[in-house]
């Protein structure tokens, strides 16, 4: 049944103080999308599996479909729109662009918000750790290949202050030269073949 | 025929033989996508992001039963609930002039269903809508939906297509005597029977290609607004083909004139086929907005997506592949039962027939093929095109049968494939199942994939690991697909109720900037970049000066949309044809300006110059400005610089390749781990290798998921058990490896770009590669076949059964388990 009362929420979203009377059951994601018009945060499921709604709540990546707007009152929220001032990119956004880490773009805001949080805690993550770190975010377009590459690229940059070499068709490491031998897939990071850089 | 096949190495990948007019060609270059900045910053606009003041929200009341008679619906409590504006039943819509949703592909003798937007009298699958509530807010509508009381008389239901064919099965169609929708066949039955009778060995296998659910991450949504003053209806909808939506909904379902009905499909968050079709909710929302004269929006919740987005696959096939003593395939006989669900979705009849039976020759010379397909209604969600659409089912069948043949013959599976390939000098090749392959060269792709794997090294490693109790395997899949279904005249003869051309309008503005209005529409494919590359390549402009306009019937002249991997080869070629007209007119204008003969004008690096005199030249902006000023034009020439073309291809294109999966099966748990995935694809010339690779990655992931994790499951009452992301196995990042890709390049002769299509190849090739790999790993257990998905419990049970039979090595048995 409908909850009849309204509850007052006040929070800081992308650096701006916001205050509204909302239904107590209103989810943070719907508050962001419908009340504030911040539609970059998406809804892909009802069961907290897809991660398209990921935002930062007091600096931590959370699924905003699983947080009531009322419980977020008093907190600071950053959405994809507020990750960087308009016209500028976070290094992970730049890496997603460079590595083709997105296709339809629907999961992308959630992926990036999760990735930014993950990189803060795991700045030297391996490919396997990155895949584990993205466990709460689904992408149906990319097979994750280029998403993991994008996160790796930022790890690589933080270590080398250069861009990770491109991984293109034919840039194949002889598997017997890999640590895992013939049974292991290249992990991207050890690609040393000079590749053409996108313009 | 100019068919050149080169292993793609080094710079050859992005260099075309006819590259002449620019130092660094835009076509074939890896370029970052123009559309990405808006997606990366959350500024993309998907249907649910469109906000119109005063919008009402629709919620559908859905059937919990797969089959039931509706005795009555009590809407009073819902109607009087605060915030509810209106409540309607299916009868209300029918009385209000809403016709049933038609089927867009007819087969001889096909029996359609009554596909109402909202059911009345009876429901036919779980999730079918029985009423719609419209509220001032989504929560008010949802609350009220909970107050609707529907008195159902539950009836027996059937979810399995073979069971639906049995005597006494519950009947799906309201007026039908049985559940057969159509019977269809292709090939020469007598010749195939004779080939099987005379064969050295015949491999027989029952193969289940399980039902899948597409799961685009953006749920379907629609928003309609109506303006009484001008009698104009605008529908924003998650569509891969807005003009098709307008045509079907306007002309057939709602009776709206096209010139007052605008369909806008803004950014689309993945489709994979599921957003081709006209769905009940879209029809209802459009009708509601017009009836209530208020904007109305509906966005699916994920469980609604699972229940109501068209599903894919769901074939049960009995296949018989016959070989001579030398291992040459002499015949293939196939009987397939295809589950169509409770209603015919828009293109459902085409999928298990013309997009399946015609592909059954694969990459092989097979003298005789016959396929018999029965399309069956069941009490389940309608089934239609899902990434690959018929072609994955064909590829899976062929590639499994060849592998089973190799095992029975005791021949290496790679060698057996090679032995049966259509030779490179046999193209164009006429198959016994109607298609004529225009080009192909299959061995280089196989060779390259085997080399990337180090096939022989692997076999030695495999033997060594078995002695340690570790079970690894590799599986091959040598696939062919057919993209860009065409030409229209032929598909019309085959039953299509539409043409399959594409249109493009290219408009050069006075300043030389270019707008392209294309009937193709992207759901992640990157057309705003690749189509701009085509324009920039032909006109010598920067891609930044090219805008691609799509997804809006109010801006784009007409179009058939994006599916079947057709946008590059059909939509791209329509753009090329318009560009040719632009270049031709521009040369005549430039000749006039330069006081030269038009045939002496050349276009080089974006400048029109007199042959032999590079200094006497005009840029595109000079020419376009002259065309719009029209102060001095060649005699008889109209002002302006734009062109429209419709391209109707003479044939399909035929991408092909070899994929190899390497897996390990955990001996204790049955868990399958995908260790490596190698794909060598030939998609013809490549516009943007980065985007081509991305398309392959995604397709491979979906196909691997079919092989290992995904399956739509129904219980004995036809209740969908996998209706959320908690129990339907969409893969996560940690379940997949990096993919190892390479290409060969055999340009298609069907279009001037020499391109084929790549959107579906990965999903077509990968399921048999993975299943073949698992069966290879399990060969010491004597397990020859298991149906997909190869989940840990299924594999573990098969291994346990083999162990119980003392069958841990040698021998060959088939253990077909239930789904």
Q: How far is A138 from chain B (nearest CA, A)?
A: 6
So what's the ipTM on this one? 0.95
For chain B, what is the radius of gyration of the CA atoms?
28
Nearest to B64 by CA among B734, B804, B723, B746: B723
Q: Kindly provide the residue ranges of all beta strands, DSSP E only, lying in B378-461, ordered along the sequence.
A: 429-430, 436-437
A94 Cα to chain B: minimum distance (Å): 8
Q: Are the C-beta atoms of B384 and B351 separated by less than 8 Å?
A: yes
Does the N-terminal peptide bond of residue B487 adopt cis geometry, omega within 30 degrees of 0? Answer: yes
pLDDT at A19 over 50: yes
With CB atoms and an 8 Å threshold, state whether A81 touches B676. no
- Chosen for mutation from A53, A99, A141 (greatest number of chain B CBs closer than 10 Å) is A141
**What does the alpha-carbon distance between residue A156 and residue A27 come to, in Å, rounded to a whole number?**
37
A126 reaches B (C-beta below 8 A) = no
pLDDT on residue A181:
81
Nearest residue, CB atoms, A81 vs list B41, B301, B690: B41
Q: What is the pLDDT of residues B58-75, one digit of tens each?
A: 999 999 999 999 999 999
Which of B8, B140, B690 faces A170 most closely, judged by CB atoms? B8
Tell me how far apart the alpha carbons of residues B754 and B6 are, in angstroms, rounded to a whole number: 14
Mutate: best of B10, B15, B40, partner A, most A CBs <10 A: B40
Size of the A and B interface in Cβ pairs below 8 Å: 247
A167 contacts on B by Cβ (under 8 Å): 738
Q: Pick the residue of B679, B733, B773, B777 with the most A CBs within 10 A to test the interface with A by mutation.
A: B733
Q: Are A33 and A43 in contact (CB under 8 A)?
A: yes
Using a CB-CB cut-off of 8 Å, the residues of chain A touching B725 are 45, 47, 49-50, 138
Q: What distance in Å separates residue B13's CA from the closest CA in chain A?
A: 9
Residues B642-695: tens digit of each pLDDT: 999 999 999 999 999 999 999 999 999 999 999 999 999 999 999 999 999 999
pLDDT confidence of residue B323: 98
Q: How far apart are CA B219 and CA B412, in angstroms?
A: 45
Across the interface, do B740 and A185 touch by the CB < 8 Å criterion? yes
Q: Which of A131, A140, A142 sits opposite B730 (nearest CB)?
A: A140
Mean pLDDT of A76-84: 97
| Model pLDDT, residue B808 | 65
Q: Does A148 touch chain B (CB under 8 A)?
A: yes
Q: Say if residue B8's pLDDT is above 50.
A: no
Complete domains list, chain B, with CATH: 47-155+222-295 (3.90.1170.50), 312-485+651-804 (3.30.365.10), 501-647 (3.30.365.10)
**All structural domains of chain A:** 7-82 (3.10.20.30), 91-183 (1.10.150.120)
Inter-chain touch A140–B702, beta carbons under 8 Å = yes
Interface membership of A179 toward B (CB under 8 Å): no
Query: H helices within B654-760, ranges in order?
Result: 689-708
Name the least confident of A150-164, B4-18, B368-382, B545-559. B4-18
Please indicate if any CB of chain B lies within 8 Å of the CB of A175.
yes
Taking residue B704's Cβ as centre, other Cβ atoms within 10 Å add up to 28
- pLDDT at residue A87 in the model: 85
pLDDT digits (tens, 9 = 90+) for B779-817: 999 999 999 999 999 999 999 999 998 876 544 444 444
CA-only gyration radius of chain A, Å: 19
Q: DSSP letters along B120-141, please?
A: -SEE-STT-EEEEEEESSHHHH
B584-641 pLDDT per residue, tens: 999 999 999 999 999 999 999 899 999 999 899 999 999 999 999 999 999 999 999 9
Q: Is the dihedral of CA B448, B751, B525, B511 positive or negative?
A: positive
| Neighboring chain B residues of A107 at a CB cutoff of 8 Å | 217, 269
**Residues from chain B contacting residue A37 (CB–CB below 8 Å):** 51
Measure the CA–CA gap between B83 and B141, rounded to whole angstroms: 7
Nearest to A185 among B36, B733, B738 (CB): B738
- CA pair distance B493, A9, nearest whole angstrom: 63
Residues near B123 by beta carbon (within 8 Å), at least 6 away in sequence: B63, B65, B66, B67, B68, B70, B130, B152
Cross-chain CB nearest to A93 (options B40, B49, B523)? B40
- A138 vs B: CB within 8 A: yes
Task: Please indicate whether, in this complex, the C-beta atoms of A97 and B691 are within 8 angstroms of each other.
Answer: no
Q: How far is B611 from chain A (nearest CA, A)?
A: 31
B743 with A169: Cβ contact below 8 A: yes
pLDDT of residue A169: 66
Nearest to B786 by CA among B735, B711, B724, B736: B711
Residues of chain B in contact with residue A116, where contact means CB-CB under 8 angstroms, are none
Q: What is the pTM of this model?
A: 0.95
């Amino acid at each position: 049944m409908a909850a009849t009362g309204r509850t007052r929420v006040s929070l800081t979203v992308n650096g701006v103080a916001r205050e509204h009377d909302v239904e107590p059951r209103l989810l943070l994601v719907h508050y962001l999308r419908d009340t504030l018009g911040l539609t970059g945060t998406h809804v892909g499921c009802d069961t907290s599996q897809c991660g398209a709604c990921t935002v930062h709540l007091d600096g931590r990546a959370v699924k905003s479909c699983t947080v009531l707007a009322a419980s977020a009152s008093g907190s600071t929220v950053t959405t994809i729109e507020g990750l960087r001032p308009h016209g500028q990119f976070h290094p992970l956004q730049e890496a997603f662009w460079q590595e083709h880490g997105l296709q339809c773009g629907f999961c992308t805001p959630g992926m990036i918000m999760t990735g930014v949080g993950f990189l803060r805690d795991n700045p030297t993550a391996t490919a396997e750790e990155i895949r584990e770190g993205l466990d709460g975010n689904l992408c149906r377009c990319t097979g994750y290949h280029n998403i993991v590459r994008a996160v790796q690229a930022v790890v690589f940059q933080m270590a080398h202050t250069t861009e990770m070499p491109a991984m293109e068709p034919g840039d194949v490491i002889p598997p017997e030269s890999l640590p895992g031998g013939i049974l292991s897939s290249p992990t991207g990071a050890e690609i040393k073949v000079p590749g053409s850089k996108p313009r | 025929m100019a068919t050149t096949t080169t292993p793609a190495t080094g710079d050859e990948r992005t260099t075309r033989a006819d590259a002449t007019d620019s130092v660094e060609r835009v076509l074939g270059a890896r370029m970052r996508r123009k559309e990405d900045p808006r997606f990366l910053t959350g500024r993309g606009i998907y249907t649910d992001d469109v906000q119109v003041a005063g919008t009402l929200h629709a919620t559908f009341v859905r059937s919990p039963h797969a089959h039931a008679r509706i005795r009555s619906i009590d809407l009073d409590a819902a109607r009087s609930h605060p915030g509810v504006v209106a409540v309607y039943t299916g009868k209300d819509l029918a009385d209000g002039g809403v016709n049933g949703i038609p089927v867009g592909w007819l087969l001889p003798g096909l029996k359609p269903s009554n596909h109402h937007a909202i059911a009345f009298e009876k429901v036919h699958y779980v999730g079918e809508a029985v009423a719609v509530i419209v509220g001032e807010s989504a929560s008010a509508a949802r609350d009220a939906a909970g107050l609707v009381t529907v008195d159902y008389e539950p009836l027996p239901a059937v979810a399995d297509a073979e069971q639906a064919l049995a005597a006494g099965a519950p009947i799906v169609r309201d007026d039908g005597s049985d559940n057969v929708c159509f019977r269809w066949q292709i090939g020469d039955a007598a010749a195939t029977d004779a080939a099987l009778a005379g064969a050295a060995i015949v491999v027989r296998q029952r193969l289940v290609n399980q039902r899948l659910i597409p799961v685009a991450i953006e749920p379907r949504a629609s928003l309609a607004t109506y303006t009484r003053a001008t009698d104009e209806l605008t529908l924003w909808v998650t569509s891969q083909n807005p003009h098709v939506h307008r045509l079907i909904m306007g002309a057939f379902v709602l009776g709206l004139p096209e010139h007052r009905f605008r369909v806008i499909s803004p950014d689309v968050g993945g489709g994979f086929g599921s957003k081709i079709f006209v769905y009940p909710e879209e029809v209802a929302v459009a009708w509601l907005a017009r009836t209530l004269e208020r904007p109305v929006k509906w966005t699916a919740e994920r469980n609604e997506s699972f229940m109501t987005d068209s599903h894919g696959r769901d074939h049960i096939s009995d296949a018989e592949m016959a070989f001579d003593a030398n291992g040459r395939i002499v015949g293939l006989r196939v009987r397939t039962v295809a589950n169509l669900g409770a209603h015919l979705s828009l293109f459902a009849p085409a999928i298990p027939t013309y997009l399946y039976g015609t592909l059954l020759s694969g990459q092989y010379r097979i003298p005789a093929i016959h396929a018999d397909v029965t399309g069956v209604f069941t009490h389940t969600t309608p089934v239609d095109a899902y990434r690959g659409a018929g072609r994955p089912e064909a590829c899976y069948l062929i590639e499994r049968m060849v592998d089973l043949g190799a095992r029975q013959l005791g021949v290496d599976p790679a060698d057996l494939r090679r032995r049966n390939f259509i030779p490179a000098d046999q193209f164009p090749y006429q198959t016994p199942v109607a298609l004529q392959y225009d080009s192909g060269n299959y061995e280089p792709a196989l060779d390259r994939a085997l080399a990337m794997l180090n096939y022989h090294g692997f076999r030695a490693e495999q033997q060594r690991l078995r002695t340690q109790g570790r079970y690894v395997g590799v599986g091959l899949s040598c696939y062919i697909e057919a993209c860009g279904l065409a030409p229209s005249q032929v598909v019309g003869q085959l039953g299509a109720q539409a043409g399959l051309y594409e249109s493009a309008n290219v408009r050069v503005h006075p300043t030389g900037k270019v707008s392209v209005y294309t009937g193709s529409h992207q759901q992640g494919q990157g057309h705003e970049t690749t189509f701009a590359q085509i324009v920039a390549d032909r006109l010598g402009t920067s891609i930044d000066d090219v805008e691609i306009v799509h997804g809006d019937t109010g801006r784009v002249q007409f179009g058939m949309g994006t599916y079947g991997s057709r946008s590059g080869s059909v939509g791209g070629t329509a753009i090329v044809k318009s560009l040719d007209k632009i270049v031709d007119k521009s040369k005549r204008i430039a000749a006039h300006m330069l006081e030269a003969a038009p045939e002496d004008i050349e276009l080089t690096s974006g400048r029109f110059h007199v042959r032999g005199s590079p200094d006497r030249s005009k840029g595109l902006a000079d020419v376009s400005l002259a065309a719009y000023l029209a102060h001095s034009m060649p005699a008889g020439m109209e002002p302006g610089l734009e062109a429209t073309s419709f391209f109707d291809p003479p044939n399909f294109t035929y991408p092909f390749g070899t994929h190899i999966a390497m897996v390990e099966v955990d001996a204790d748990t049955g868990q399958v781990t995908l260790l490596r995935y190698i794909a060598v694809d030939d998609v013809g010339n490549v516009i943007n290798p980065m985007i081509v690779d991305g398309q392959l990655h995604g397709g491979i992931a979906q196909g691997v998921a079919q092989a290992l994790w995904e399956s739509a499951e129904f219980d004995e009452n036809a209740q969908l058990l996998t209706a959320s992301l908690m129990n339907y196995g969409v893969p996560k990042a940690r379940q997949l490896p990096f993919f190892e890709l390479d290409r060969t390049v055999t340009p298609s002769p069907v279009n001037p770009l020499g391109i084929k299509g790549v959107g579906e190849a990965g999903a077509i090739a990968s399921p048999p590669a993975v299943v073949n790999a698992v069966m290879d790993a399990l060969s010491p257990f004597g397990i020859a076949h298991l149906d997909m998905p190869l989940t840990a419990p299924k594999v573990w049970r098969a291994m346990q059964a083999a162990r119980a039979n003392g069958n841990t090595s040698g021998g060959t048995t088939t253990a077909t388990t239930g789904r």
